A and B are shown apart, each in its own frame.
Chain A
Amino acid sequence: MMPVEAFLRQDAEAVRPAPALVKRGWRKLLFGDVASSLLTVLISLCALWAVPRVLDWAVFDAVWRGNGQACFDAGACWAFLGAKWPLILFGIYPPDQQWRPIVVVLAFLAITLWSLPERNWTRATATGWLVVIVSSLLLMGGDTLGLQPVPTGDWGGLPITILLTVLSLTIGFPFGILLALGRRSEDRMMRWLSVGFIEIVRGLPLLTMLFIAAILLPLMLPDGVTFDNLSRALVALTFYSAAYLAEVIRGGLQSLPKGQEEAARALGLGRLATLRFIILPQAIHAVIPPLTNTVVVVVKNTSLVLVVGLFDLLSAGRSALTDPDWPSPYIETYILVGFVYFVICFGISRYSLWLEHKLSAGVQR
């Protein structure tokens, strides 16, 4: 057998210069080989064909101001959006009362921005959210505050989108935690119930669930107890949020080392206390970025409520299109609606990426 020393290097390795950072120039990247050159030419040709047409439509031939007549036989009718934006953003809410949805949207914007930095994740912020949600509902409804009452059927546009998102998530969250715990419970009955609920909800299209809520819910409640359209849609969305949140939270629970629970129990903490103080805070903290992504999914999904006759952002945009004085600029309207959604969703998903980066930097000590 050879001595170990035979494998050991005796001298230090000569110091080599770091490999030069190859910075390929634009020319090299665009025309480096046949494939790249072809790609470059192809994409450029497409752009040369498309860009002038799009610009003509969107800018040069577009109608920026004026009435419906100006928009016939012209490019994009941005004037329509100029005239209709209150209807698209706030639906058929009485026009003289529109300061109320505006206040609601601003309040949610403010509290969201406030909650972004990690240092503001406090009990006070949580209370703030609760206050904003409750006061928004009261302000939109109006009866309790002595304002002109507005039935939920007349609420519309962005406030509906925001309220449905926020309410379904806040109501769904505790259920999501229960379901996640139930799915990991030792009790077979609890496990089956949780798995059953989660898998059924995740197995059904949301549209089908909204449809079921709209049709079956009234049939399953006793005589005289009725839900308005908004609450029915909210029930379906909450079920959906709860099931999806449960799966995310389960991921967080799984990522926790078993020792955490054992240590807490060894210290004499009860089961509930262990959950409350040791397990859940860590599990949820670990899945904050995917939770944020769930928000994006829910925001996008609120647009489905148009099939049950609610006036969310999208349906409000569609109903604006029925005005016979305008040539129904569908594409422009959907671009505006899509853009609003995009700003919200893209913002949240970027925030989630940033958060992930920041949180993982904190964990890897």
Chain B
Amino acid sequence: MARPSPARESTASASTGWRIAQVAIVLSLVGLFAWLASNTAQNLHSRGIMVGFDFLWRGARFPIAESLLPYDPTDSFGWAFVVGLGNTLYITLLVIVLSTALGVVVGVARRSSHPFASGLSAVFVDTCRNMPIVVQLLFWYAVVAFGLPDTDHASHPLPGVWFTDRGLYFPRLHLDGPLLPGVFVLVVGLGWAWTVRRRDQRRRTETGRSPHAGRKIVAGTLVAAVLVAATTGLRPSLEYATLGRFNYMGGVTLTPEFVAILVGLTVYSTAFAAEIIRGGLDAVPRGQWEAARAIGLSEHQTLRLIVLPQAMRLIIPPMTSQYINIMKNSTLALVVGYPELNFITATTINQTGQALEGVGILMAIFLAISLGASWLMNLYNQKLGLVTR
């Protein structure tokens, strides 16, 4: 008995039973959503809950412990959201930079033949990856907020630096006087150094010699800029933190909350970054190392010029999702009291009762960022002709 080819059947016309099943699934999902939506509408109505985004313009009145953007309780709820997003992005970017740098160190150390380096980094990676990030954050918070001495017995490792259970205090640099002349010298000098460097690079590809004129110009510029600034009357001064009645005041303060989220998230993310980088390096065939050595490149040069560029193609896609994970994990700042977007949304919902709106904004922001990032990643992959798995 002749049968139609199965492949054709599956692409063109599916059997009616299958079709009905699919329609049924879709319909029941739509029904479910409609049911949930009607429940919500009903509940909102019967409980007299106000809906709308008017509250965004009302005064927030609640305090935010610390923020990158200026904030005062007289600002609006809308601005509080922006401030929260600012903190989220701030901590995310800091951790991305730090964990990538440290991840390279740990990842390379793990592959090194030095027994101490590889052993330590293996222990580090396994420990950090197998404990929940929340536990680690609370641990670091306990170390800073309950482990350091109190204000009256501050630890004083360097002049102008105090470590207490209320935070880490550093001097703040103030510049008084005209800033422009020094900056002008700096910009001109660096611009010149950049053009010289471009020229030298071109010359190196042609002649093989590598002059280092650019570096000398940079050094000269720095000296010149400082001299010019000093002669035109720019006076730097350090503002030290001073002990007030309750706390050290002034200077730069890193609160225990900030330190805990920064250290905790960086340590955790470093372990993951290190594994990704190690995976990328491992995937570069051994022959590449050997060939590079054969043409006379040093180990450092091999890593920088031969292996890393190849490993990058394998490292970048998982690193992107790792970066999105960092942003998602930054919401855990809640447990150590650092006010990021999720925390501030929770507070807003509490103060206003506008749960639907708050949750909607929160979801929209996080989805916009993470879906946007993966969309960019897809573009990048298409450009490189890579396939993400």
Direct contact of A and B (CB under 8 A): yes
Q: Could you tell me which A residues sit within 8 Å of B by CB distance?
A: 24, 26, 29-30, 36, 39-40, 43-44, 185-187, 189-190, 193, 199-200, 202-208, 211-212, 215-216, 219-223, 251, 254, 261-262, 265-266, 268, 271, 296, 300-301, 303-304, 306-307, 314, 318, 328, 330-331, 334-335, 337-338, 341-342, 345-346, 349
Q: Which residues of B contact A306 (CB under 8 A)?
A: 134, 335
Residues A30 and B115 in contact in the complex (CB < 8 Å), given A204-B328, A204-B366, A304-B332: yes
Is B57 located at the chain interface by the 8 A CB criterion?
no
Contact: A208 with B362, CB < 8 Å? Answer: yes
Which 7 pairs between the two chains have the least Cβ-Cβ distance? Answer: A265-B6, A330-B142, A205-B328, A303-B132, A345-B130, A203-B370, A300-B132
> What are 20 A-B pairs at a CB distance below 8 A?
A29-B115, A43-B116, A43-B117, A186-B11, A200-B367, A204-B370, A205-B327, A207-B332, A220-B36, A220-B43, A265-B6, A304-B132, A314-B132, A330-B139, A334-B142, A335-B139, A338-B132, A342-B127, A342-B131, A345-B131
Q: Which residues of A contact B366 (CB under 8 A)?
A: 203-205, 208
B113's partner among A24, A186, A200, A207 (CB-CB below 8 A) is A24
B335's partner among A261, A266, A307 (CB-CB below 8 A) is A307
Q: Which residues of B contact A262 (CB under 8 A)?
A: 6-7
- Given A314-B135, A346-B130, 9 more contacts at CB 8 Å? A193-B29, A204-B363, A205-B342, A215-B349, A261-B10, A265-B7, A334-B138, A337-B135, A338-B139
Report the minimum CB–CB distance from B95 to chain A (whole Å).
Answer: 14
A349's partner among B14, B130, B136 (CB-CB below 8 A) is B130
Beta-carbon nearest neighbor of B368 in chain A: A203
Residues A208 and B43 in contact in the complex (CB < 8 Å), given A303-B134, A345-B130, A345-B131: no
Report the minimum CB–CB distance from B22 to chain A (whole Å).
Answer: 5
In whole angstroms, what is the CA distance A266 to B335 when docked?
Answer: 57
Beta-carbon nearest neighbor of B115 in chain A: A29
- Per-residue A-contact encoding for B133-157, CB less than 8 Å = 1, 0 else: 1111011001100110000000000
Contact: B117 with A341, CB < 8 Å? Answer: no
In whole angstroms, what is the CA distance A204 to B3 when docked?
Answer: 48
Residues A186 and B142 in contact in the complex (CB < 8 Å), given A211-B346, A219-B355, A296-B130: no
Contact: A212 with B359, CB < 8 Å? Answer: yes
Residues A30 and B363 in contact in the complex (CB < 8 Å), given A265-B6, A303-B135: no
Contact: A334 with B40, CB < 8 Å? Answer: no
Report the minimum CB–CB distance from B346 to chain A (whole Å).
Answer: 7
Q: Which residues of A contact B6 (CB under 8 A)?
A: 262, 265-266
